[in-house]
Chains A and B, each alone.
Chain A
Amino acid sequence: MGGAAILLLTGCSPQQFTVLNPVGPVGRSELQLIILSTILVLVVIVPVIALLAYIVVRYRDKPGNTAPYQPQWSESKKLEFVWWSIPIIIVAILGTVTAEKTFALTRPPEPTNNPMVVQVQSLDWKWLFQYPGQKVATLNYLEIPTGQPIEFILTSNAPMNSFWVPQLGGMEYTMPGTQMRLWLQADQAGTYQGRGANFTGRGFAHMTFNVVATSQDKFNQWVQKVKATGTPLTEAGYQALVKPSLAGVISYSSYPMGLFENVVTKDGGGMGNMGK
C-alpha cells in the first residue's frame, strides 16, 4: 500500500508498468506467475519481519527485562520441522506452476496451423524484421495483426541482444549462428514499445522499436502500402545495415532471398534447433 502511494506520488501512471499491463495471452500468463510468486513470498516476508521486530524488542538486554532467558536452549525438533516445511511447501507450489507454464509457453498461445512468422535480426544497433509470408521487411518497427499468435524467429548478426516487448510478453535472446523461437500475441490494437534487453555496445540504449498491432484488414493494407511505397532491401543495402550505426524507421518492399537463413548458417550455424 505504502509502495503504491509512493509510486502515485512520483507521477507514475499504472499504464507505464508495461509488465503489469499485458495485452496478450503470453504476457498475461507470465503476469499470473508474477502475482502468484509475489503472494507466496509475502507469506514468508511479512511474518519474518514481524517476528524479527518482536524478538528484537522483547529480548533486548536491558535491566529489568522479564522476558525468559535460556542461554543453553539451541535445539527444537518441532520448530525446525516447521521451518523446513514452510519453504518446501512454497517451492512445491511455485515449482509446479512454473513447470506447467514453462512448457506451455513453448507452444503457440492458441492452436494455429499456419502461423504468421516474423524473422528478427539484431544488428549494431538496429532491429531488422522480415515477413517471409508477406515478403516485406521493416527496420526498427514492427506491424502485427491482432488476435493471432505470431511466431518470432530470432537471430543476430552482431553481439547477442534480447528481443523484448513487455506488454506482449517476455523476452528471448538473439544469438549469432542460432535461431530461436518466441511466441507472442496482441489481443488489443495499439502501439507497444519494444527494446533490446542485452547490452551490445555504444548504441545499445537506442535500440528501441514500436510494435503496432492492428486488425488483420489494416495489417493487410499496411503490407500493400509497404509493397507499393517501400524501397527494396538489396544485398548491398543489408551490408550497410550490418555496419555499426544508428538508424531510423524504414519499410522495405522486398528483401534478398534467403537473407535470414544465410545469416544463421554462414558460419556453421544450424537451422534445425529452435531451442524450444
Chain B
Amino acid sequence: MGGVKQFLSHFFVTGPFEIGGDVSIGLVSLAILFVLTRYKLWGWLWRNWLTSVDHKKIGIMYMLAALLMLFRGGVDALMIRTQLALPNSQFLGAEHYDQIFTTHGTIMILFMAMPFIFAMMNIVVPLQLGARDVAFPYLNAISFWLFFFGAMLLNISFVIGGSPDAGWVNYPPLAELQFSPGPGDNFYLLSILISGIGSVATGINFLVTILKMRAPGMSLMKMPMFSWAVFATCIDIIFAFPALTIALGLEFADRILGAHFFTLNGGGNPMMYVNLFWMWGHPEVYIVILPAFGIYSEVVATFSRKRLFGYTAMVTSLLLIAIASYFVWLHHFFTMGAGADVNTFFAIASMFIAIPTGVKIFNWLFTMFRGRIRMTIPMMWVIAFIPNFVIGGSTGVMLAAAPADYQYHNSYFLVAHFHQVLIGGVVYGMLAGMYYWWPKMFGFILEERFAKWGFWLFNIGFYVCFMPQYPLGLMGMTRRMYTYPAGLGWSSLNMISTVGAFVMGIGFIFIVLNIVSSIRHPVKDTTGDPWDARTLEWSLPSPAPHYNFARIPVIDSRDQWWEMKQKGMTKPDDSTPLAPIHMPKNSGKPFIMGVLFFIAGFGFVFNWYVLAGLGLLGVVITLFARSFDYDTDYYIPVDEVKHSEAAFGRS
C-alpha cells in the first residue's frame, strides 16, 4: 500500500500549479466529453476529422492545435514574466521556473510554430497549385497525428511525472541522468522524436506535391510565392530534422540505454550534441520563417492590388536563405572555443543571410509602392511585421559579429532578438495567414472590431515587453536565471517588460474573442474571393469542396485568378465536361498509429519497457495492416460533383 502511495506521489506531480493544472485539464476534458455525447458528435468527430486525409481538414486541426499551444506557451511566458517582474521574487521557485522556461521554449518552437506553418501549408498549397490533395494524403494524416500525440506527451508531463527542466536546447551533460534524473527529460526526448518523424514526412510530402502536382501550365516560375516559400522550407526540413533526430536519439541512448555519448563521465563529449542540435536548430528558424515570408508576399500583393515586386529576386532570395541556413549553425556557440578562423567563417556566413532577407524587405515595400493599399486585418499584420523584422534582423546582424557576440551571448539582448524575429516574423506571419485564408477555410470572414483590438494590444505589448530586454542584456542580465538581486538596475526594466507581456496576453484574448464572436455572427463569404485576390485558391468557393477543383485548371500566368478576372471571368472555365474525380479514402490507422506511438513513448519515459514494446509492436502491426489494405481510394461520380458544384452556383 505504501508502495502504491509512493508511486502515485511520484507519478502525479503535486503542488499548487500542478493541482490547478489537473483540475483545469479534468474540467475541460469532461466538458468535451459532455458536449460530444450530449450532441451525439462522436461519429461526426471520427468520420469527419479523426480519420480524415483531406489536407484542408488536417490543416485546420494543425491550426487549432497551434492556437492551443500558443495559449499554453503564452501562459508559461506570463508565469516567467511574473516571476521576473520584481527582484528576489518568490512567486515560482527555481524548480518551477526551470520547468516553465523549458516547456515554454519547446512548445513555442516545436508545438506552436511548427504546426502553425504546417497548418498554412496544408490549407493553402494544394489549392494554390490546382491540386486535389497533397501527394501522399495518408502519410499527411500520419504526420499530423504523430505531431499531435507528441505534443500531448510533452504537455501531460506538467501533471504526470514532472516537466523537463534543462532548457529547450536540452544541452548535455545537464540533461543527462546524472543531473536530470527522473522522467522529465525523457518527455522532452520522446515527444520531439515522435513528432519529428511526422515533420520529416511533411517535408517530403510537400516537396513532392510541389514538384509533381502543379496544374498543367504552371511552370515553377509561374508558381505563387507562398508555394515557393514552402518548397524552400521543405528542403530545410528534409535535411535538418535528421540531425535533430540523431542528437536526441543519442541522448535517448544515454538516458535510457546507459550509453555515454554526451555524458560528463565515461568519455562523453557534450560538444557533439551542441553541433548536431544547431545543425538542425538554425535551419529550423528558417523552416518557420520562410512560410511566413511566403504569406507576407501573398497578402501584400493582394492588398496593394499590384503584382508582387521582383518575383525572380524573391525566389532567388528564398533559395539562397534555405541553402545558406546550413552554413551558420555555429553562430549559436561562438563562445565555445572554436578557432578564430571557424568563428570568422560562420560570422560572415551569418551576416550574408541579411543580404537576401534585406532584398525581400525592399521588394515588399515596392510592391506597396504605386499600389492601392487596403488596411485589412491581414495587411495590418504585414505592415507591423516590417519594422519589427527590420529591427530584429538588424540585431541579428549585430549578434553575428562574433566578438560582439561574446558580450551578447545568452544575455537578454539575445532573448530580445530572437523573440523579435520569431514573434514579429513568424507569429505575425501566421496570424496574417490565418486572417487571410480564414474565409477559404470556413466560408466566413473574421470581423474587424475585436481583430483590431487584438492587433493593437499585441503590437504595443510586444514593444513594451521586448524592447527593455535589449538594454537588460547590456546590463549583464542572462537568460534562464529565475531570480536576481535588487540594485543592479534591472528591476524597472523587468517590470516594464512584464507589463508588456500581459498586454500581449490581453491582445491574444481579443484574438480569441474575435474568432468566437465571428463564429456566432458570421459574415458569409458567398463569392469565394472576399479580398479580390490573385491566386488560384480564390477561384474556388469558400470553403472549398473536398475535391477542391471540379476541373483541373490550365495555368498561363503567375497571378492566374487575377488575370482571369481581368478578362472578365467571375468563375473558372466550366465549358469542358466533368469527369469522375479520383480521391483517397479516409482511414483510422493514422490516428491509431499516433495513439500507439504515444503509448510507446509513455512507456519509454517511465522506463516501462513492456508497455513501450507493446506500443511499438502495435505500430508495426498497423504498418502491416496498411500495406495489405487495397481499398484506399475511390471515384466521386460526375453526378455528385455536378450536384455539389450546383450548390455553389457553379456547373
Residues of A within 8 A of B (CB): 3, 7, 10-13, 16-20, 27, 29-31, 33-34, 37-38, 40-42, 44-45, 48-49, 51-52, 55-56, 59-61, 65, 67-76, 79-80, 83-84, 86-88, 90-91, 94-95, 97-99, 101-103, 105-106, 124, 157-160, 162, 164, 166, 169-173, 175-178, 180, 193, 195-205, 266-268, 274-276
Contact = CB atoms under 8 A, between A and B. Distances in A.
A59 B372 contact: yes
Nearest to B478: A197
Contact of B270 (A3, A61, A160, A180): A160
B338 A49 contact: no
Nearest to A163: B335
Contacts of B366: 76, 79
Interface string B394-431: 11011011111111111100000000000000000000
Contact of B404 (A30, A84, A157): A30
A89 B512 CA distance: 44
26 contacts: A12-B471, A18-B474, A18-B476, A27-B407, A30-B406, A30-B407, A37-B398, A40-B397, A41-B394, A41-B397, A44-B390, A45-B391, A55-B369, A56-B373, A73-B370, A76-B310, A84-B313, A94-B351, A98-B344, A158-B173, A170-B403, A171-B407, A175-B336, A178-B337, A193-B476, A197-B409
B383 A267 contact: no
B361 interface: yes
A171 B409 contact: yes
Contacts of B338: 275
Given A48-B361, A69-B371, A195-B476, A175 B270 contact: yes
A94 B492 contact: no
Interface of B: 94-95, 98, 165-167, 171-174, 179-180, 264-271, 304-311, 313, 333, 335-340, 343-344, 347-348, 351-352, 354-355, 358-359, 361-363, 365-375, 383, 386-387, 390-391, 394-395, 397-398, 400-411, 467, 471, 473-476, 478-484, 488-489, 492-493, 496
Q: Say whether chain A's binding surface is mostly helix, strand, loop, or mixed.
A: mixed
Given A170-B403, A267-B264, 14 more contacts: A41-B397, A90-B354, A91-B354, A95-B351, A103-B344, A106-B339, A170-B406, A175-B270, A177-B267, A177-B269, A197-B410, A267-B267, A268-B267, A275-B339
Contacts of A170: 335, 403-407, 409
Contact of B394 (A44, A124, A158): A44
B411 A197 contact: yes
Contact of A59 (B94, B370, B402, B474): B370
B173 A16 contact: no
Contacts, number: 299
B271 A199 contact: no
Nearest to B266: A267
A74 B306 contact: yes
B375 A33 contact: no
Contacts of A172: 335-337, 406
A4 to B, nearest CB: 10
Contacts of A74: 306-311, 367
Contacts of A103: 340, 344
Contact of B94 (A27, A197, A203): A203
A44 B174 CA distance: 41
Given A87-B355, A88-B355, A7 B311 contact: no
Nearest to A11: B492
A215 B310 CA distance: 62
Given A13-B489, A202-B98, A180 B337 contact: yes
Given A37-B398, A205-B481, A69 B372 contact: yes
A200 B174 contact: yes
B403 A87 contact: no
Residue of B395, B401, B481 most packed against chain A (CB within 10 A): B401
A103 B340 CA distance: 5
Contact of A80 (B310, B348, B481): B310
A175 B270 CA distance: 8
Contacts of A105: 340, 403, 406
Contacts of A70: 306, 370
Nearest to B383: A56
Contacts of B374: 61
B168 to A, nearest CB: 10
A159 B171 contact: yes
Nearest to A177: B269
A60 B481 contact: no
A41 B179 CA distance: 42
Nearest to A60: B373
Contacts of A193: 476, 488
A188 to B, nearest CB: 17
A59 B304 contact: yes
Contact of A12 (B401, B407, B475): B475
Contact of B375 (A60, A65, A268): A60
A232 to B, nearest CB: 26
A75 B174 contact: no
B359 A87 contact: yes
Residue of B305, B383, B398, B407 most packed against chain A (CB within 10 A): B407
Contacts of B179: 124, 158-159, 201
Contacts of A205: 94, 481-484
B348 A171 contact: no
B489 A12 contact: yes
A202 B95 contact: yes
Contacts of B371: 59, 69, 71
A120 to B, nearest CB: 13
B305 A71 contact: yes
Contacts of B409: 162, 170-171, 197
A173 B336 contact: yes
A55 B488 CA distance: 43
A90 B396 CA distance: 14
The 7 closest A-B CB pairs, nearest first, are: A170-B406, A275-B337, A16-B489, A41-B394, A159-B174, A205-B481, A74-B307
B333 A173 contact: yes
Contacts of A203: 94
A158 B265 CA distance: 10
B173 A160 contact: yes
B264 to A, nearest CB: 5
B200 to A, nearest CB: 29
Nearest to A34: B404
Nearest to A79: B366
Contacts of B373: 55-56, 59-61
A199 B370 contact: no
